[in-house]
Amino acid sequence: MKSSLKIGSIMGIPVKLHITFLLILPVFALVFSINEYPLGFAGTTPVILNYALSLLTTILLFACILLHELGHSYIAKSYGVEIKDITLLLFGGVSSMEEIPREPSQELRMAFAGPLVSFIIGFILLGANYILASTASGYGGTSIWLMFYILGSINIVLGLFNLLPAFPMDGGRLLRAWYAKRMSYVKATHYAAGFGKMFAFLMGLLGLFFNPWLILIAFFVYIGASEEDKSTTISVLLEKYNVSDIMSEDVRTVSPDITVEELSKFMFENKHLGYPVMQGNSLKGIVTFTDIRNIIPTDRFATLVSDVMTRDIISVSPEDTASEAFKVMTVNNVGRLLVVSDGELVGILSRSDLMRTMTLLNE
Ligand SMILES: [Zn+2]
């Protein structure tokens, strides 16, 4: 994803900042600087200290969110789950992991680890603030220890918010793990998602009367619940099939030496939007409609497929399950995968192949 910027890595996990995070950073700092004690630093003198504390609090807040995510990741890693990266975005963080453990007790611990980290940080900071506040002679509304109070409180709220029993919050996963001890994983997800939707509905209703922000959160919870339900059903159903069962074997390939103009004609005639690029018998890359759509008409005759193709080939093996292929597609955000066996291209699997199989399975 080009919309994120990698800032480093912790425990071998790349940490990224999403563009929305960079936009929200000054907004949070502004909120802290205009709110009065004990919600912000307004009134602190000199004014520069107000701004510095507001900015520092914002940065530390996101460091706390990162620690929350690392809590999940740490437990996940101990169960052998691969974490691709952690991205900090507008409202919190997201760890993208290859798969969530299906073992209810593992999912339970993993989901709880995040809020637990937030509570621990919260109580430590509030405790430190309490001690410092009683030893120092009051805040005067300007003390740096106010930051401990603000960050501590936010961490407690963050932990509680994440325990709301609805996807995509951690509480939704806890609820699923609770159900999954009593029934199949798909059914458990369905029940947990149903509960989350009901919860979202009630929250939206409350929002109508009290606070319009609740409607927004309710909407986000409702979408999260539906998505989780759908993607779990898809991946469990697709586990029964291998890539070789549903891939297209009749693969049209293109040469890296043809022009983009020739390629777009070829796409139009063959009606597929992505093709492996082959030079003789060797696979060089993949080229899709997305790679060429922004090339202006006058450049189309001079640009070659080799200039625009993606060299980084994302492939699966014909023996992989369709469910694994679906995950690879989702994690990498691509619409098609090349099927490679012993270094040789044997087929292509597109999102529409998977969707077709899903439709047939649901009949
Ligand atoms: Zn969490």
Q: Which residues surround ligand 1, an ion (CB under 5 A)?
A: 114, 162, 170
Q: Are strands 274-279 and 282-288 parallel, antiparallel or unpaired?
A: antiparallel
Active site residues: 69
For residue 140, pLDDT over 50 is answered with no
* Cα–chain center distance at 294: 27
The pLDDT, as a whole number, for residue 97 is 65
Say whether 167 sits in a helix, a strand or coil. coil
> Domain-by-domain residue ranges, the chain?
1-163, 168-238, 243-362
Residue in the block written with tokens 């609770």: 178
Q: How far is the CA of 93 from the centre of ligand 1 (A)?
A: 8
pLDDT for position 274 = 85
Q: Which residues contact 162 (CB under 8 A, 6 or more apart)?
A: 68, 114, 115, 118, 169, 170, 171
Task: Give the least confident one: 41-45, 89-93, 312-316.
Answer: 89-93
Supply the mean pLDDT for the chain: 86
Query: 292 near 263, Cβ under 8 Å?
Result: yes
Output the pLDDT for position 116.
97
> What are 315-326's pLDDT values in tens digits?
899 999 888 888
Residue 74 has pLDDT above 80, yes or no: yes
Q: Compute the distance between CA of residue 65 and CA of residue 17 in angstroms, rounded to an integer.
A: 12
User: Residues 285, 313: contact at Cβ < 8 Å?
Assistant: yes
> What's the pLDDT tens digit per position in 13-34?
888 888 877 888 888 899 988 8
As a whole number of angstroms, the distance between CA 10 and CA 12 comes to 5
Query: How many Å lie between the centroid of ligand 1 and the Cα of residue 210?
Result: 27
Ligand 1 centroid from CA 69, angstroms: 6
CATH top class, domain 243-362: alpha beta
The binding site for Zn(2+) comprises: 68, 72, 170
pLDDT digits (tens, 9 = 90+) for 42-55: 877 788 888 888 99
Does residue 143 surpass a pLDDT of 70? no
Q: Which residue has the higher pLDDT, 191 or 251?
A: 191
20 C-alpha to ligand 1 centroid (Å): 19
Ligand 1 geometric centre to CA of 29 (Å): 23
CA gap 70, 343 in Å, rounded = 36
Give the amino acid at 148.
F
Confidence of residue 345 (pLDDT cuts 50, 70, 90): confident
What DSSP state is assigned to residue 272? -
DSSP 333: T
Strands (E), 183-232: none
Annotated binding site: 68, 72, 170
Average pLDDT value for residue range 56-68: 91
